[in-house]
Structure 1
Amino acid sequence: MKPPRDAAVAASSRWTDPDGYRSPAGSVHAWLRGTNQTVCGIPLSRAGLMRFPHIQWADVQPATGRDADRVQEVCPRCAAGMGARRDERPWRRVNPRP
């Protein structure tokens, strides 16, 4: 099964920039339009997540996204569901065993 290509964003909070553009903040999840749950299976209404249908999933990635100014956490399960690879981990081995 291929990962979804066109996912929007659901977030735990929001902020408005000086131009009046509403952007996600806090914890972000991938959300497929037309469903009431995130890619990782969290129901939007019960978790209190806000929908951002005008923002793409790629735009909230902290490394490259333009709308990632106030994003604190990207859901790892949603990232995996959208096609992130395991070898993109931000860790490195400090003291390897002999």
Structure 2
Amino acid sequence: MRTAASGSWVPDDGVSRLPAGEVHAWEPGRNATVCGVPLRRAGLARFPHVEFSDLDALTGGSGDRVRWTCPRCLATTGGRRTLRRWTRTGPRP
């Protein structure tokens, strides 16, 4: 999966542009995101060189200026699997 975003920024090295703002997962060859948002109508730019999985700000990847990641795209791509799942700590008798 690749990335589509509402904005872009160029890091200090000036080599490539990176996604910023609202971020969605996108498959090359399609005109919509994985969750169904049309790219042109939503004003999203394509980033075919950036993997959607690299946008987690905790990993220090390309997600420095990402403000919002689509939860439906995360669910579709299987993202955030490192978080602990909910468990019942004190069940009733």
Q: TM-score, normalised by structure 2?
A: 0.82
Q: 2:8 aligns with which of 4, 8, 14?
A: 14
Q: Decide whether the 8 Å contact of 2:53 with 2:79 is kept in 1.
A: no
Q: How far off is 1:12 after superposition? A: 0.5
Q: How far off is 1:88 after superposition? A: 3.8
Q: Decide whether the 8 Å contact of 1:11 with 1:49 is kept in 2.
A: yes
Q: How far off is 1:84 after superposition? A: 3.3
Mapped to 2, the partners of 1:54 and 1:85 lie a distance apart of 21
Residue in 1 that maps onto 2:41: 46
Residue in 2 that maps onto 1:25: 20
Q: In the alignment, residue 13 of structure 2 is paired with which amino acid? A: D
Report the count of equivalent residues. Answer: 90
Q: What are the residue-to-residue correspondences of 1:86-97 with 2, within 5 Å?
A: 88=83
Answering whether residue 53 of structure 2 is matched by residue 55 of structure 1, we say no
Q: For each residue in 1:44-75, what CA deviation from the matched residue of structure 2 results, as whole angstroms up to 9, or x when unmatched?
A: 01100000000001111122251011011110
Aligned-pair Cα RMSD in Å: 2.6
Q: For each residue in 1:11-50, what CA deviation from the matched residue of structure 2 results, as whole angstroms up to 9, or x when unmatched?
A: 0100011211200000100000110000100000110000
Q: Structure 1 residue runs of 4+, over 2 Å off? A: 84-89
Deviates more, 1:60-69 or 1:27-36: 60-69
Q: Which runs of 5+ in 1 are unaligned?
A: 1-6, 90-97
* Sequence identity (%): 54
Answering whether residue 57 of structure 2 is matched by residue 66 of structure 1, we say no
SS in structure 2 opposite 1:77? helix
Structure number, greater radius of gyration: 2
Q: TM-score, normalised by structure 1?
A: 0.78
Q: Decide whether the 8 Å contact of 1:11 with 1:50 is kept in 2.
A: yes
Q: In the alignment, residue 12 of structure 2 is paired with which amino acid? A: P
